[in-house]
């Protein structure tokens, strides 16, 4: 279909590797164990950024695609800032994200994925 490696990594691989974490986080949230999903997400993201990106860079250094720097890193930073504001700057109990805020973040993810696919399929 002509999809780039970056698109495949940002969609199929990212979703596939995150599903077990999502299942564990949802199960623990349903059991009122709110620290487990937070530790799972933070630990996974730290490992993915430092380990999964760092180790291949040590083995075979390469160039970061321009699309990742121009499009994906700013999206990550904006959504991370939004998450921080929702958790600590919003109304309600500090350190807590309500259903509406969770829906906003999920909607942002869906829109981002849609934009990635549309951009990849554009002639």
DSSP state letters, the chain: ----HHHHIIIIIHHHHHHHHHHHHHHHHHTT-THHHHHHHHHHHHHIIIIIHHHHHHHS--PPPHHIIIIIHHHHHHHHHHHHIIIIISSSSTT---HHHHHHHHHHHHHHHHHHHHHHH--
Residues 57 and 41 in one domain: yes
pLDDT tens-place values along the chain, 123 residues long = 666 777 777 777 778 878 888 888 889 888 988 788 778 877 887 887 788 878 888 999 888 888 888 988 899 899 988 988 888 876 666 777 888 988 999 999 999 988 888 887 776
User: How much is the pLDDT for 85?
Assistant: 87
End residue of a domain, out of 62, 79, 110: 62
Residues 41 and 73 in one domain: no
Residues 2 and 52 in one domain: yes
End residue of a domain, out of 9, 30, 62: 62
User: How much is the pLDDT for 62?
Assistant: 86
User: How much is the pLDDT for 32?
Assistant: 86
Count of structural domains within the chain: 2
Domain hosting 47: range is: 1-62
Residues 33 and 84 in one domain: no
User: How much is the pLDDT for 104?
Assistant: 94
End residue of a domain, out of 19, 36, 62: 62
Residues 12 and 48 in one domain: yes
Residues 11 and 53 in one domain: yes
């Amino acid at each position: 279909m002509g999809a780039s490696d970056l698109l495949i990594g940002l969609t199929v691989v990212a979703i596939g590797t995150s599903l077990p974490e999502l299942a564990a986080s949802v199960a623990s949230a349903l059991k009122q164990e709110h620290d487990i999903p937070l530790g799972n997400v933070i630990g996974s993201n730290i490992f993915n950024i430092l380990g999964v990106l760092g180790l291949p860079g040590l083995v075979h250094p390469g160039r970061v695609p321009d699309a990742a720097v121009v499009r994906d890193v700013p999206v990550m930073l904006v959504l991370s800032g939004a998450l921080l504001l929702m958790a600590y700057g919003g109304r309600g109990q500090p350190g807590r994200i309500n259903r509406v805020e969770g829906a906003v973040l999920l909607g942002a993810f869906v829109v981002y994925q849609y934009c990635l696919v549309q951009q990849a399929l554009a002639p």
